[in-house]
A and B are shown apart, each in its own frame.
Chain A
Amino acid sequence: DIQMTQSPSSVAASVGDRVTIACRASQDLKNWLAWYQQKPGEAPNLLIYGASSLQRGVPSRFSGSGFGTDFTLTITNLQPEDFATYYCQQANSFPLTFGQGTRLEIK
């Protein structure tokens, strides 16, 4: 199985900040990677797919990059509604696997 490792596990930031979350895969994913946002008590929400394609309806302050084994989610100009937990997910092979999550907290 492909292991997905996110860093950091948690990060504190302020409104208006720029935040970067990393995701590393144990095998080459090419660009088969997605990012999800999950707020407490809610289902996850797809933000990015194909490593860098923005899902319809997601604000452009979210962006993704990377290829192979190293990927990044960047959020610029943080807004209050962005404080949540973020997960990466590989879609290169089965079983599909998620990272352990990164909690983005208000500083």
Chain B
Amino acid sequence: EVQLVESGGGLVQPGRSLRLSCAASGFRFADYAMHWVRQAPGKGLEWVSGINWDSSRKVYADSVKGRFTISRDNAEKTLYLQMNSLRADDTAFYYCAKDKNLYDLDYMDVWGKGTTVTVSS
């Protein structure tokens, strides 16, 4: 079974850092691009970042560029999101998602259950 399990969320003060992890199983993780998508409470979906299969391409939403860093460990089948200088408007449910296509960054066909990040003093 294809599965993504996020972890690392929690309550953090503004300006501090947090690292999210996403453990993948049931598919050839190293072949697929991966994404982070977030959803603020009661709001819509916001794409945060994506990384291609070999980490040669990393792309970010303008709202997180320069503060967040996406990375992956293909040997460990794990995706990461390092979040620095966190702000109140980063409060959201964070989803890890697998790209549908080999090597590309476009559509998200498998999603984790998500992890909650709350930024508050």
| A interface residues, Cβ below 8 angstroms from B | 1, 32, 34, 36, 38, 43-46, 49, 55, 87, 89, 91, 94-101
Contacts and interface: CB of A to CB of B under 8 A. Distances in A.
B67 interface: no
B61 A91 contact: no
Contacts of A38: 45
Q: Is the interface of B mostly helix, strand, loop or mixed?
A: strand
B108 A44 contact: yes
17 contacts: A34-B106, A36-B108, A43-B95, A44-B108, A87-B44, A89-B45, A89-B107, A89-B108, A91-B107, A95-B59, A95-B61, A96-B35, A96-B106, A97-B47, A98-B44, A101-B44, A101-B45
Interface of B: 35, 37, 44-47, 50, 59-62, 95, 100, 105-109, 111-114
Given A44-B45, A97-B47, A49 B100 contact: yes
Contacts of A49: 100, 106-107, 109
Nearest to B63: A95
A43 to B, nearest CB: 4
Given A97-B47, A101-B44, A46 B100 contact: yes
B74 to A, nearest CB: 22
Given A1-B62, A95-B62, A96-B105, 7 more contacts: A36-B108, A45-B111, A55-B109, A87-B45, A89-B45, A91-B105, A96-B35
Given A43-B114, A44-B111, A46-B100, A95 B44 contact: no
Most chain B CB inside 10 Å of its own CB: which residue of A43, A91, A99: A43
Contacts of A55: 100, 109
Contacts of B113: 43
Contact of B60 (A36, A45, A87, A95): A95
A36 B61 contact: no
Contacts of B108: 34, 36, 44, 46, 89
A57 to B, nearest CB: 10
